[in-house]
Amino acid sequence: MGKPKKKEGAVFLRKKITLLRAFSLLIGSMVGSGIFISPKGVLKNTGNVGLSLIVWFACGILSMFGALSYAELGTRITKSGGHYVYILETLGPLPGFLFLWAEYFAIRPANSAVVALAFGRYILEPFFAPCPAPLSAVKLVALLGYYIVLILNSWSVTWSARLQTILSIIKLAALALIIVPGMMLLAQGRTENFRDAFDSQMVVLDKLPLAFYAGMFAYSGWYVFQTSFVREELVEPERNLPLAVIVSVITVIVGYMLTNVSYYTVLTAADVLASQAVAVSFARKAFQSLISVIPILVSLSCFGTMNGGIFTFSRTLFVASREGQWPPLFSMIHIHRHTPLPAVLLMFPLVTAMICVGELYHLLNFFSFSRWLFIGLATLGLTVHRCRHPEILSSFKVMVDPVSISIGCAMVLSGFPVYYLLTNGSMPNCCRTTSHYLTLKLQILLKVIQQEIKTY
């Protein structure tokens, strides 16, 4: 008869995400292509080195505030699915579905395409230097890298999580190889690139929002929703979720600031703007011995971000299907592998299309507005959830002053009726007469008249 087969038990997603894996998932999602491609976008849209560093720090602080809000939501709402579930539970099914729709058809495939293209560009850079790699070759390698990650996530949750841990260590090593040489040169007196750091002649304030888009893209993996995407698979989520968030976001803020300072210690603003791969240009000017190592580490960093993105967004589709807002097939799990296989594979055609037809910086601007709009809505949902469910005691709570926030919102909203009265001619006659009378009396008192228009 032979030895009977071991029963596999119920089919469900196991709790396999430990604190270390949660930390790795966050680090692996944040430290991706952004810090290696965004410095050019931030500098281009600020105009000088000093303002670009301020934008980087401001983006880090904004990310910390957002991450803390998501950490509390993750301890209050016990479902997986990230900010799809947060919006669904706090603001209702329609906003939740609109987020899901935008995330699937625009935000997530564009983001994945950006990271994949950065992966392709960096891995090919050493073979074509000093010339840029052909775009067709970059896209081919980007597709290959994405498909490898897709297959891995379809095959095993454990393998994907272990790979994420290994790649997170590599990501931190990549940053260290940029930070340490840069700090050494700075200590030796290489400060000439910072002398006119706040040169006002080059400032372009009208493009500042685009600078924040580029900076926030680099921090976008603060997504505490990366861990809340897999909340049901997280070991001790009430403790591990906020702890992983706080430590990882602080680590990344410090690392990003030091990395940017190192870039500008070695490269001039013109060098950064002319570079297609800032980290490679840094290695070429700082230490030639690193020229072959940096691109490999950066490409592996992007590989980890692709892995984290597929790992987490597949859980959003899985939960949306379970909630009845997505076809039922995508709430199903492989009977042997215990992976959400249909949800993992669903992004394949859209990401492939965007890699084939898209351009890196255009794709970045394409999805940024929609992403931060829904992140803002999910953060607003925290206040809504607190009001609706005061009985829920959270193990982690963000310090928020609801009175001050409410007063501020009321002051902003009070402008709506005033705007309507002033611009649509709807002011009552008595109010108009009173206003005219007061205007005349104040004219006499203050001795003022309308500006005279000269004719020539």
Quick: pLDDT tens for 296-305: 887 887 888 8
State the average pLDDT over residues 235-252.
Answer: 81
Maximum CA extent, the chain: 110
Residue 350 has pLDDT above 90, yes or no: no
Instruction: Evaluate if residue 140 carries a pLDDT over 90.
Output: yes
Predicted pLDDT at 284: 81
Most confident of 43-57, 87-101, 280-294: 43-57
For residue 114, pLDDT over 50 is answered with: yes
- Distance in Å from the first CA to the final CA of the chain: 110
Among the residue ranges 189-203, 278-292, 372-386, the one predicted with the least confidence is: 372-386
Cα–Cα distance for residue pair 53/74, rounded to 1 Å = 31
Q: Which pair of tokens denotes residue 75?
A: 């301890």
pLDDT at 142: 92
The token pair at 27 is: 């680090």
Packing angle, helices 34-44 and 49-76, rounded to 10: 130
CATH topology of domain 19-399: Amino acid/polyamine transporter I (1.20.1740)
186-190, 273-277, 356-360, 371-375 — most confident range: 186-190
pLDDT band at 369 (very low <50, low <70, confident <90, very high): low
Confidence check: pLDDT of 1 > 60: no
Above 50 in pLDDT, residue 50?
yes
Query: What percentage of the chain exceeds 90 in pLDDT?
Result: 8
Q: Average the pLDDT over 100-124 and give the result.
A: 84
pLDDT over 60 (residue 137)? yes
Full-prediction pTM beyond 0.85? no
Average pLDDT, the chain: 77
% pLDDT > 70, the chain: 74
Checking if the pLDDT of 126 tops 70, the result is yes
Give the residue with greater pLDDT, 7 vs 55. 55
Looking at residue 360, what is its pLDDT? 59
Give the burial class of 336: count Cβ atoms within 10 A of its Cβ; 0-12 exposed, 13-18 middle, 19 or more buried.
exposed
Higher pLDDT, 318 or 9: 318
The answer to whether 116 and 355 are in contact (CB under 8 A) is: yes
Stretch 7-20: mean pLDDT, rounded?
Answer: 62
Predicted confidence band of residue 161 (pLDDT cuts 50, 70, 90): confident
Does residue 400 surpass a pLDDT of 60?
no
Q: Give the lowest-confidence range in 157-161, 313-317, 336-340, 371-375.
A: 371-375
- Would you give the DSSP letter of residue 390? T
What are the φ/ψ torsions at residue 369 (nearest 5 degrees)?
A: -60, -50
Please answer whether residues 310 and 344 qualify as being in contact, where contact means their C-beta atoms are separated by less than 8 angstroms.
Answer: yes
Predicted local confidence at residue 159, as pLDDT = 85
Q: What DSSP letter does each residue of 152-210 carry, written as one string?
A: HHHH-HHHHHHHHHHHHHHHHHHHHHHHHHHHHHHHTT--GGGTTTT-GGG--GGGHHH
Q: Where are the beta strands (DSSP E) in 279-371?
A: none
CB atoms within 10 A of CB 378: 28
Residue 258, pLDDT > 90, answer yes
141, pLDDT greater than 90 = yes
Confidence of residue 9 (pLDDT cuts 50, 70, 90): low
Tens digits of residue pLDDT in 404-421: 445 545 654 565 565 566
Query: What pLDDT is recorded for position 207?
Result: 79
| Burial class of residue 224 in the structure, from the number of CB atoms within 10 Å of its CB (0-12 exposed, 13-18 middle, 19+ buried) | buried
If one compares 348 and 15, the residue with the highest pLDDT of the two is 348
Show me where the domains of the chain are located. 19-399, 414-446
* DSSP H or E segment with residue 276: none
- Are 89 and 385 contacting, i.e. CB atoms less than 8 angstroms apart? yes
